[in-house]
Structure 1
Amino acid sequence: MFVGTAKGVVSNCQSITNFLKVIVNHCLDQQCSAELSLRVEQILTITNQLTIISSVNALTAGSKSSDEILVKNAQNLLKVVLQGVRSAETACIKGLKQPEPNSDGVEAASMCFQWKRNLQMHRAQQNSNPDTDDLGLRKTSLHRESPSLAPPVDIKDQGFK
Protein backbone atom coordinates (compact mmCIF):
# COMPACT_ATOMS: atom_id res chain seq x y z
CA MET A 1 0.00 0.00 0.00
CA PHE A 2 2.75 2.48 0.96
CA VAL A 3 4.81 1.64 -2.12
CA GLY A 4 1.98 2.42 -4.55
CA THR A 5 1.24 5.68 -2.79
CA ALA A 6 4.93 6.62 -2.80
CA LYS A 7 5.11 6.01 -6.56
CA GLY A 8 2.06 8.27 -7.02
CA VAL A 9 3.68 11.00 -4.92
CA VAL A 10 6.87 10.76 -7.01
CA SER A 11 4.86 11.05 -10.22
CA ASN A 12 2.98 14.12 -8.97
CA CYS A 13 6.21 15.72 -7.78
CA GLN A 14 7.58 15.50 -11.30
CA SER A 15 4.70 17.72 -12.47
CA ILE A 16 5.28 20.17 -9.64
CA THR A 17 9.01 20.24 -10.39
CA ASN A 18 8.28 21.06 -14.04
CA PHE A 19 5.95 23.87 -12.93
CA LEU A 20 8.59 25.30 -10.58
CA LYS A 21 11.24 25.12 -13.32
CA VAL A 22 9.00 27.20 -15.60
CA ILE A 23 8.64 29.80 -12.84
CA VAL A 24 12.44 29.81 -12.34
CA ASN A 25 12.94 30.45 -16.06
CA HIS A 26 10.45 33.33 -16.13
CA CYS A 27 11.15 34.91 -12.75
CA LEU A 28 12.30 38.53 -12.86
CA ASP A 29 13.82 38.54 -9.36
CA GLN A 30 17.24 36.84 -9.07
CA GLN A 31 16.82 35.98 -5.38
CA CYS A 32 13.42 34.35 -5.98
CA SER A 33 14.88 32.44 -8.90
CA ALA A 34 17.75 31.15 -6.74
CA GLU A 35 15.32 30.14 -3.96
CA LEU A 36 13.11 28.28 -6.41
CA SER A 37 16.11 26.53 -7.96
CA LEU A 38 17.12 25.36 -4.48
CA ARG A 39 13.61 24.02 -3.84
CA VAL A 40 13.62 22.20 -7.19
CA GLU A 41 16.93 20.53 -6.30
CA GLN A 42 15.60 19.56 -2.86
CA ILE A 43 12.46 18.07 -4.40
CA LEU A 44 14.51 16.09 -6.91
CA THR A 45 16.83 14.79 -4.19
CA ILE A 46 14.02 13.71 -1.86
CA THR A 47 12.07 12.25 -4.79
CA ASN A 48 15.07 10.11 -5.70
CA GLN A 49 15.36 9.01 -2.07
CA LEU A 50 11.67 8.15 -1.98
CA THR A 51 12.00 6.11 -5.18
CA ILE A 52 14.91 4.14 -3.72
CA ILE A 53 13.20 3.63 -0.36
CA SER A 54 9.96 2.49 -2.01
CA SER A 55 11.91 -0.01 -4.14
CA VAL A 56 13.56 -1.43 -1.02
CA ASN A 57 10.24 -1.39 0.80
CA ALA A 58 8.65 -3.41 -2.01
CA LEU A 59 11.23 -6.14 -1.37
CA THR A 60 10.82 -6.06 2.42
CA ALA A 61 7.05 -5.81 2.58
CA GLY A 62 5.59 -5.71 6.05
CA SER A 63 8.62 -4.23 7.77
CA LYS A 64 7.46 -1.58 10.22
CA SER A 65 10.79 0.28 10.18
CA SER A 66 10.89 0.49 6.38
CA ASP A 67 7.28 1.73 6.36
CA GLU A 68 8.20 4.41 8.92
CA ILE A 69 11.16 5.53 6.82
CA LEU A 70 8.98 5.65 3.72
CA VAL A 71 6.29 7.74 5.43
CA LYS A 72 8.83 10.13 6.99
CA ASN A 73 10.50 10.65 3.61
CA ALA A 74 7.11 11.33 2.00
CA GLN A 75 6.32 13.88 4.74
CA ASN A 76 9.67 15.60 4.15
CA LEU A 77 8.96 15.70 0.43
CA LEU A 78 5.54 17.27 0.95
CA LYS A 79 7.04 19.93 3.22
CA VAL A 80 9.63 20.85 0.60
CA VAL A 81 6.98 20.89 -2.15
CA LEU A 82 4.86 23.31 -0.09
CA GLN A 83 7.92 25.51 0.47
CA GLY A 84 8.49 25.43 -3.30
CA VAL A 85 4.92 26.47 -4.02
CA ARG A 86 5.22 29.31 -1.47
CA SER A 87 8.44 30.39 -3.19
CA ALA A 88 6.60 30.30 -6.53
CA GLU A 89 3.93 32.56 -5.03
CA THR A 90 6.65 35.01 -3.99
CA ALA A 91 8.13 34.90 -7.48
CA CYS A 92 4.69 35.59 -8.97
CA ILE A 93 4.22 38.60 -6.74
CA LYS A 94 7.67 39.96 -7.61
CA GLY A 95 6.94 39.47 -11.29
CA LEU A 96 7.27 37.03 -14.15
CA LYS A 97 8.23 37.74 -17.72
CA GLN A 98 5.73 36.75 -20.37
CA PRO A 99 6.60 33.35 -21.90
CA GLU A 100 6.98 32.89 -25.63
CA PRO A 101 3.71 31.96 -27.36
CA ASN A 102 3.24 28.20 -27.79
CA SER A 103 6.04 27.45 -25.29
CA ASP A 104 5.88 25.08 -22.33
CA GLY A 105 5.59 27.98 -19.91
CA VAL A 106 2.40 29.57 -21.26
CA GLU A 107 -0.02 27.49 -19.18
CA ALA A 108 2.00 27.77 -15.97
CA ALA A 109 2.52 31.51 -16.36
CA SER A 110 -1.16 31.98 -17.15
CA MET A 111 -2.11 30.19 -13.94
CA CYS A 112 0.33 32.39 -11.98
CA PHE A 113 -1.00 35.60 -13.51
CA GLN A 114 -4.58 34.54 -12.71
CA TRP A 115 -3.60 33.69 -9.11
CA LYS A 116 -1.91 37.09 -8.72
CA ARG A 117 -5.06 38.89 -9.95
CA ASN A 118 -7.17 36.89 -7.46
CA LEU A 119 -4.75 37.78 -4.66
CA GLN A 120 -4.86 41.48 -5.56
CA MET A 121 -8.68 41.42 -5.61
CA HIS A 122 -8.72 39.65 -2.23
CA ARG A 123 -6.38 42.24 -0.73
CA ALA A 124 -8.45 45.10 -2.15
CA GLN A 125 -11.59 43.60 -0.58
CA GLN A 126 -9.83 43.29 2.77
CA ASN A 127 -8.63 46.90 2.64
CA SER A 128 -12.09 48.21 1.76
CA ASN A 129 -13.70 46.58 4.83
CA PRO A 130 -13.35 48.97 7.78
CA ASP A 131 -14.39 46.47 10.45
CA THR A 132 -11.89 46.76 13.27
CA ASP A 133 -11.66 45.47 16.81
CA ASP A 134 -11.11 47.42 20.08
CA LEU A 135 -7.44 47.97 19.28
CA GLY A 136 -8.09 49.29 15.80
CA LEU A 137 -6.92 46.09 14.16
CA ARG A 138 -8.80 44.69 11.19
CA LYS A 139 -10.96 41.70 12.11
CA THR A 140 -9.73 38.73 10.13
CA SER A 141 -12.50 36.33 11.07
CA LEU A 142 -14.82 38.05 8.60
CA HIS A 143 -12.43 37.46 5.70
CA ARG A 144 -12.02 34.28 3.81
CA GLU A 145 -8.56 32.81 3.41
CA SER A 146 -6.36 34.50 0.83
CA PRO A 147 -5.83 32.77 -2.53
CA SER A 148 -2.93 30.35 -2.78
CA LEU A 149 -1.30 28.29 -5.51
CA ALA A 150 -1.46 25.35 -3.10
CA PRO A 151 -4.49 24.15 -1.19
CA PRO A 152 -4.12 24.19 2.60
CA VAL A 153 -2.37 21.03 3.74
CA ASP A 154 -1.74 20.00 7.33
CA ILE A 155 1.31 17.79 7.51
CA LYS A 156 1.53 16.31 10.97
CA ASP A 157 4.47 14.39 12.27
CA GLN A 158 2.57 11.31 13.36
CA GLY A 159 4.30 8.27 14.71
CA PHE A 160 3.19 4.72 14.11
CA LYS A 161 1.15 2.96 16.74
Structure 2
Amino acid sequence: MAQYLKRKGPIHSKEAFVSSAKTIVSSCQSITQFLKVIADHCLDKHCAADLALVVEQILTITNQLTIISSVNALTPGSKSSDESLVKNAQNLLQIVLKGVRAAETACIKLSVPTGDSSLEMWQGLRQPEPNTNAARAAALCFQWKKNLLIHRALEISNPETDDLGLRKTSPSSAEPSLAPPLHVLGQQNK
Protein backbone atom coordinates (compact mmCIF):
# COMPACT_ATOMS: atom_id res chain seq x y z
CA MET A 1 0.00 0.00 0.00
CA ALA A 2 2.85 2.36 0.80
CA GLN A 3 4.27 1.75 -2.68
CA TYR A 4 0.96 2.90 -4.19
CA LEU A 5 1.67 6.40 -2.87
CA LYS A 6 4.92 6.40 -4.85
CA ARG A 7 3.11 4.99 -7.91
CA LYS A 8 5.09 1.75 -7.62
CA GLY A 9 4.26 -1.79 -6.61
CA PRO A 10 1.45 -4.19 -7.41
CA ILE A 11 -1.43 -1.80 -6.64
CA HIS A 12 -2.18 0.44 -9.61
CA SER A 13 -5.72 1.70 -9.04
CA LYS A 14 -7.64 3.48 -6.30
CA GLU A 15 -10.12 0.56 -6.17
CA ALA A 16 -7.34 -1.98 -5.57
CA PHE A 17 -5.83 0.35 -2.94
CA VAL A 18 -9.11 0.55 -1.02
CA SER A 19 -9.73 -3.17 -1.53
CA SER A 20 -6.36 -4.04 0.03
CA ALA A 21 -7.31 -1.99 3.11
CA LYS A 22 -10.58 -3.92 3.36
CA THR A 23 -8.67 -7.20 3.01
CA ILE A 24 -6.47 -6.19 5.93
CA VAL A 25 -9.58 -5.50 8.01
CA SER A 26 -11.08 -8.91 7.25
CA SER A 27 -7.78 -10.66 8.03
CA CYS A 28 -7.59 -8.89 11.37
CA GLN A 29 -10.93 -10.38 12.37
CA SER A 30 -9.44 -13.89 12.45
CA ILE A 31 -6.34 -12.64 14.27
CA THR A 32 -8.59 -10.94 16.84
CA GLN A 33 -10.50 -14.20 17.38
CA PHE A 34 -7.21 -16.06 17.85
CA LEU A 35 -5.96 -13.52 20.41
CA LYS A 36 -9.29 -13.65 22.29
CA VAL A 37 -9.03 -17.44 22.54
CA ILE A 38 -5.48 -17.21 23.87
CA ALA A 39 -6.55 -14.53 26.39
CA ASP A 40 -9.50 -16.67 27.55
CA HIS A 41 -7.29 -19.73 28.08
CA CYS A 42 -4.22 -17.98 29.44
CA LEU A 43 -3.25 -19.01 32.97
CA ASP A 44 -1.42 -15.76 33.71
CA LYS A 45 -3.84 -12.91 34.46
CA HIS A 46 -1.39 -10.19 33.41
CA CYS A 47 -0.79 -11.80 30.02
CA ALA A 48 -4.55 -12.22 29.57
CA ALA A 49 -5.06 -8.53 30.37
CA ASP A 50 -2.31 -7.54 27.90
CA LEU A 51 -3.94 -9.65 25.21
CA ALA A 52 -7.37 -8.15 25.93
CA LEU A 53 -5.87 -4.66 25.61
CA VAL A 54 -4.25 -5.53 22.27
CA VAL A 55 -7.56 -6.97 21.02
CA GLU A 56 -9.29 -3.67 21.88
CA GLN A 57 -6.55 -1.72 20.09
CA ILE A 58 -6.90 -3.92 17.00
CA LEU A 59 -10.67 -3.44 17.00
CA THR A 60 -10.31 0.34 17.34
CA ILE A 61 -7.76 0.65 14.54
CA THR A 62 -9.74 -1.77 12.37
CA ASN A 63 -12.83 0.43 12.76
CA GLN A 64 -10.74 3.48 11.88
CA LEU A 65 -9.33 1.72 8.82
CA THR A 66 -12.85 0.76 7.69
CA ILE A 67 -14.02 4.37 7.97
CA ILE A 68 -10.93 5.81 6.29
CA SER A 69 -11.14 3.30 3.44
CA SER A 70 -14.81 4.16 2.87
CA VAL A 71 -13.98 7.87 2.78
CA ASN A 72 -10.94 7.21 0.63
CA ALA A 73 -13.04 5.37 -1.95
CA LEU A 74 -15.14 8.54 -2.36
CA THR A 75 -12.22 11.01 -2.57
CA PRO A 76 -10.37 10.50 -5.83
CA GLY A 77 -6.92 12.01 -5.95
CA SER A 78 -6.73 12.97 -2.25
CA LYS A 79 -3.09 12.39 -1.28
CA SER A 80 -3.74 13.14 2.42
CA SER A 81 -6.54 10.58 2.50
CA ASP A 82 -4.27 8.00 0.86
CA GLU A 83 -1.47 8.76 3.33
CA SER A 84 -3.88 8.48 6.25
CA LEU A 85 -5.05 5.08 4.99
CA VAL A 86 -1.48 3.79 4.65
CA LYS A 87 -0.46 5.11 8.08
CA ASN A 88 -3.50 3.50 9.69
CA ALA A 89 -2.77 0.16 7.98
CA GLN A 90 0.85 0.33 9.19
CA ASN A 91 -0.32 1.09 12.74
CA LEU A 92 -2.68 -1.87 12.56
CA LEU A 93 0.10 -4.21 11.45
CA GLN A 94 2.30 -3.00 14.34
CA ILE A 95 -0.48 -3.69 16.85
CA VAL A 96 -1.14 -7.12 15.32
CA LEU A 97 2.55 -8.00 15.68
CA LYS A 98 2.42 -6.78 19.28
CA GLY A 99 -0.57 -9.07 19.81
CA VAL A 100 1.20 -12.07 18.33
CA ARG A 101 4.21 -11.43 20.55
CA ALA A 102 1.86 -11.17 23.56
CA ALA A 103 0.29 -14.50 22.54
CA GLU A 104 3.76 -16.06 22.38
CA THR A 105 4.47 -14.73 25.86
CA ALA A 106 1.17 -16.10 27.16
CA CYS A 107 2.00 -19.54 25.77
CA ILE A 108 5.28 -19.85 27.66
CA LYS A 109 4.64 -17.73 30.76
CA LEU A 110 4.91 -19.55 34.07
CA SER A 111 2.25 -18.97 36.70
CA VAL A 112 1.57 -20.36 40.13
CA PRO A 113 -1.88 -21.95 40.47
CA THR A 114 -4.13 -19.80 42.66
CA GLY A 115 -6.00 -21.17 45.63
CA ASP A 116 -3.59 -24.06 46.01
CA SER A 117 -0.71 -24.18 48.47
CA SER A 118 1.20 -26.31 46.00
CA LEU A 119 4.35 -24.78 44.57
CA GLU A 120 3.74 -26.54 41.27
CA MET A 121 4.10 -24.24 38.27
CA TRP A 122 1.76 -24.30 35.26
CA GLN A 123 2.84 -23.10 31.86
CA GLY A 124 0.92 -21.13 29.30
CA LEU A 125 -2.63 -22.10 28.49
CA ARG A 126 -5.51 -24.09 29.93
CA GLN A 127 -6.56 -26.98 27.71
CA PRO A 128 -9.70 -25.93 25.80
CA GLU A 129 -12.68 -28.12 24.95
CA PRO A 130 -11.86 -30.58 22.14
CA ASN A 131 -13.07 -29.98 18.56
CA THR A 132 -13.48 -26.21 18.94
CA ASN A 133 -11.79 -23.17 17.44
CA ALA A 134 -10.11 -22.73 20.81
CA ALA A 135 -8.64 -26.24 20.55
CA ARG A 136 -7.24 -25.47 17.09
CA ALA A 137 -5.72 -22.19 18.34
CA ALA A 138 -4.20 -23.94 21.34
CA ALA A 139 -2.81 -26.70 19.10
CA LEU A 140 -1.10 -24.04 16.98
CA CYS A 141 0.41 -22.49 20.11
CA PHE A 142 1.53 -25.84 21.50
CA GLN A 143 3.17 -26.72 18.16
CA TRP A 144 4.94 -23.34 18.08
CA LYS A 145 6.11 -23.83 21.68
CA LYS A 146 7.46 -27.28 20.82
CA ASN A 147 9.39 -25.84 17.85
CA LEU A 148 10.73 -23.03 20.05
CA LEU A 149 11.97 -25.49 22.68
CA ILE A 150 13.66 -27.60 19.99
CA HIS A 151 15.28 -24.47 18.55
CA ARG A 152 16.54 -23.40 21.97
CA ALA A 153 17.89 -26.89 22.71
CA LEU A 154 19.81 -26.83 19.42
CA GLU A 155 21.21 -23.39 20.23
CA ILE A 156 22.35 -24.56 23.66
CA SER A 157 24.06 -27.61 22.18
CA ASN A 158 26.20 -25.35 19.96
CA PRO A 159 29.70 -25.72 21.47
CA GLU A 160 31.25 -22.83 19.52
CA THR A 161 32.18 -19.79 21.60
CA ASP A 162 33.78 -16.48 20.76
CA ASP A 163 36.83 -14.83 22.36
CA LEU A 164 34.80 -13.81 25.43
CA GLY A 165 33.45 -17.31 25.97
CA LEU A 166 29.98 -16.39 24.71
CA ARG A 167 28.10 -18.94 22.62
CA LYS A 168 28.00 -18.11 18.91
CA THR A 169 24.69 -18.25 17.10
CA SER A 170 24.29 -18.31 13.37
CA PRO A 171 22.37 -15.35 11.96
CA SER A 172 20.41 -17.61 9.59
CA SER A 173 18.66 -19.66 12.29
CA ALA A 174 15.77 -17.43 13.29
CA GLU A 175 13.80 -18.32 16.37
CA PRO A 176 10.37 -19.85 15.61
CA SER A 177 7.53 -17.35 15.84
CA LEU A 178 3.76 -17.27 15.50
CA ALA A 179 4.23 -14.18 13.30
CA PRO A 180 5.80 -14.44 9.86
CA PRO A 181 8.62 -12.02 9.03
CA LEU A 182 7.17 -8.68 7.87
CA HIS A 183 8.65 -5.43 6.65
CA VAL A 184 6.71 -2.54 8.15
CA LEU A 185 7.81 1.10 7.91
CA GLY A 186 11.21 0.07 6.61
CA GLN A 187 11.98 -1.95 9.74
CA GLN A 188 12.68 -5.63 9.67
CA ASN A 189 10.82 -7.86 12.11
CA LYS A 190 12.41 -11.11 13.25
Q: Classify the TM-score, shorter chain.
A: over 0.9
Paired position in structure 1 for 2:29? 14
Paired position in structure 2 for 1:114? 143
| Residues 4-57 of structure 1: CA deviation (Å, up to 9, x unaligned) | 000000000001000000001110000000000000000000000000000000
Paired position in structure 2 for 1:55? 70
| Residues 39-81 of structure 1: CA deviation (Å, up to 9, x unaligned) | 0000000000000000000000221110000000000000000
Paired position in structure 1 for 2:132? 103
**C-alpha separation in 1, matches of 2:169 and 2:66:** 42
**Letter in structure 1 aligned against 2:138:** A
**C-alpha separation in 2, matches of 1:55 and 1:99:** 38
Q: Percent identity?
A: 71
Between 97-106 and 120-129, report the one with greater CA deviation. 97-106
Aligned length: 158
TM-superposed deviation, 1:142: 5.8
Give the structure, 1 or 2, with the largest relative contact order (CA under 8 Å, sep 6 or more): 1
Query: Is the contact made by 1:24 and 1:33 (CA closer than 8 Å) also made in structure 2?
Result: yes
Q: Which portions of structure 1, spanning 4 or more consecutive aligned residues, are displaced by more than 4 angstroms?
A: none
| Residues 115-160 of structure 1: CA deviation (Å, up to 9, x unaligned) | 00000000001001111111111112266001000011121169xx
User: Which is helix-richer, 1 or 2?
Assistant: 1
Change in Cα spacing, 1:157 to 1:28, as seen in structure 2 (3 Å) is: same
* Structure of higher CA gyration radius: 2
Map 1:1-161 onto structure 2 (within 5 A): 1-94=16-109, 95-141=124-170, 144-156=173-185
For structure 2, list consecutive stretches of 5 or more residues without a partner in the other structure. Answer: 1-15, 110-123
User: Which is strand-richer, 1 or 2?
Assistant: 2
Query: Normalising by structure 2, what TM-score?
Result: 0.80
For structure 1, list consecutive stretches of 5 or more residues without a partner in the other structure. Answer: none
CA RMSD of aligned residues (A): 1.3
